[in-house]
Structure 1
């Protein structure tokens, strides 16, 4: 199954390059960029697949049983812009530029040293014989990593200054999933990629893992009155479960319901709230209005300003402690 998906993906990628991109590069005299362009297609095509899958699943759910009417179309359009930039444009471009050279150097260093990094499959050979089980393990480990990244976003004041953009949205929909500061997104991409590299997620399974977590995260933000019940809420994160996180329970260091796909991490680490029938209002009224209803640029600028103030405050506190102990 994985092999068939990989072959289909490679075929679509090759067709787009040969039919659309390569002739354009030739006409513009830019064939020196052909290899980079071929790899770039992967980013755009994969982002497009994610957006289409999420829309096909989540939009009918929101139309079926919304928690609240869509009254703030302007803010929703801003969230759609976030998704387009994150999945189809700005973030993939920055990730490509930032990590392509680093990945090449790292691979060269590992190959030259003769050291073979341990992976889950080398530690547990059974996973090589059961690819579906291996996929499930990879998803669970990466989901645990995302849980702790989310906890840290709330724990450190400079990081919360960026993540607050996500919590400022009062009209939450499945598009809100991508409503993040660009620096926060880059940190998240590096975090996720590092864990995937560390546990040895195979290239053929990595896109599947990403889509699973992406769909789960988008659905958890959907404007749909949906709970999975007493048992289901403990197996998968539902829109109700995560909506509580975007209400009064989600601000500051002592928030609840951080999970992306599996609520088990919230249960294990004491941050779960399993109330079934509560669908709270969303948004943090303490945040600046620019973060809630401003344009994409205004929200990004406000995030940088707040992060700068948080870092400066932290430096002052540390300097004061050093003076007291000197």
Structure 2
């Protein structure tokens, strides 16, 4: 692990000094060098994520697909969404939006005497061990994702945006990032605020993000694979999450679908709050009102159209 860490750090340093830093000086943006260095890290992590998806998840999808891919244009659009998130473009948006807001808020709170509650200090000698604290952070952020995801299916204004994600009829490993950008901004704002509240070390936060991204990509994969009678309770897999994306059996006008299986990493929260269903199959995915017999509602075929229709649904114009 130390060798891999050193290799990653060396690559980040080389990329930054060779390409990023000279470009910033040329553009007169030397004041953001520190943030740009972090941005280089997120870019490399995105490239690493894509490499793992292509090397591991893609062959698995070809080996045991849950369904035949017939709409390759929809899949290509999901690849675009993934590139926007994984190659730093969305991270750049966060740099100019949620991060400055969070820094200002917690800067003011710090002046008033507020300090973060470091959960890794709960039990000195135990919770401050790297692997123990990582598990704790994974559980905390997974609960945050569970709660936010459940809210997206409960409140119509959040569902208006989240419907972009569920409207994919051809779900693959690329579908995880198919979201409305405003929805992603809201979710990341919550995550940033929580990370400040519990004082997550930067290295642990990066590990949480990487693990979450990979598990989400796997759980969305077009893959007919289960984790077994015990494993299905330990990690969210393609079968568990595909059931969440299944078309609802009965139409309910403008209502969020699939009120179960909200977990991102662990089914634990679904089991605890009685929203878990392990009886799903590998049936068709999407939203019920997309079906011809239920109105054939249009959710858009292109990136900008999907984003615009999401806004129109949000304000009640679509």
Q: TM-score range by the shorter chain?
A: 0.7 to 0.9
Whether the 8 Å contact between 1:247 and 1:282 is mirrored in structure 2 is: yes
Task: Find the aligned partners of 2:198 and 2:158 in 1 and give their Cα distance.
Answer: 26
1:268 CA displacement:
1.0
- CA distance 1:157–1:115, shift in 2 (3 Å): closer
Determine the C-alpha separation between the residues in 2 that align with 1:129 and 1:305: 47
The Cα offsets for residues 189-248 of structure 1, whole Å up to 9 and x where unpaired, read as: 112222222222211111111111111111111001111122111111110111111113
Bigger mean CA offset, 37-46 vs 181-190: 37-46
Q: 2:270 aligns with which of 262, 266, 270?
A: 266
Distance in 1 (alpha carbons) for counterparts of 2:26 and 2:72: 41
Q: Does the 8 A contact of 1:166 with 1:180 survive in 2?
A: yes
* Bigger mean CA deviation after superposition, 168-177 or 122-131: 122-131
Cα root mean square deviation, aligned:
2.5
Count of paired positions: 308
Q: CA deviation at 1:31?
A: 4.2
Structure 2 alignment gaps of length 5 or more: 250-254, 291-295
DSSP-derived class of the 1:82 partner: helix
Kindly state the Cα deviation for residue 125 of structure 1 after the two structures are TM-superposed: 2.4
Contact kept, 8 Å, 1:256 with 1:273, in 2: the verdict is yes
Superposed displacement of residue 131, structure 1: 1.5
CA contact (8 A) 1:66 1:225 kept: yes
Tell me, yes or no, if the aligned pair for 2:247 and 2:288 is still in contact at 8 Å. Answer: no
SS of the aligned residue for 1:286 comes to: helix
1:283 aligns with 2:286: yes
Query: What's the offset of the Cα at 1:5?
Result: 6.1
User: What is the distance in 2 between the residues matched to 1:28 and 1:117?
Assistant: 36
| Equivalence for 1:135 | 134
Matches within 5 A, 1:189-228: 189-228=188-227
Query: Residue 249 of structure 1 contacts residue 256 of structure 1 at CA under 8 Å; is this kept in 2?
Result: no
Residue 70 (structure 2) pairs with residue 63 (structure 1): no
1:322 aligned partner: none
* 1:104-140: CA deviation from partner (whole Å, max 9, x where unpaired): 4345435544443222123332445422111111111
Structure 1 pair 99/252, CA: closer, same or farther in 2 (3 Å)? closer
Matched, 1:146 2:142: no
Cα displacement (A) at 1:24 = 3.2
The alignment status of 1:80 with 2:79, answered yes or no, reads yes
Task: Flag structure 1 segments of 5+ consecutive residues without an equivalent.
Answer: 313-326
Native 8 Å contact 2:16 2:37 kept in 1: yes
* 1:183 is aligned to 2:190: no
Matches within 5 A, 1:149-168: 149-168=148-167
- Mapped to 1, the partners of 2:178 and 2:245 lie a distance apart of 13
Pick from 297, 300, 306 the counterpart of residue 313 of structure 2. 306
Could you tell me how far 1:102 is from its partner in structure 2?
2.8
Counterpart check, 1:51 vs 2:58: no
Pick closer, same or farther for the CA change 1:159–1:120 going to 2, 3 Å.
same
* Counterpart pick for 1:296 among 299, 303, 308: 303
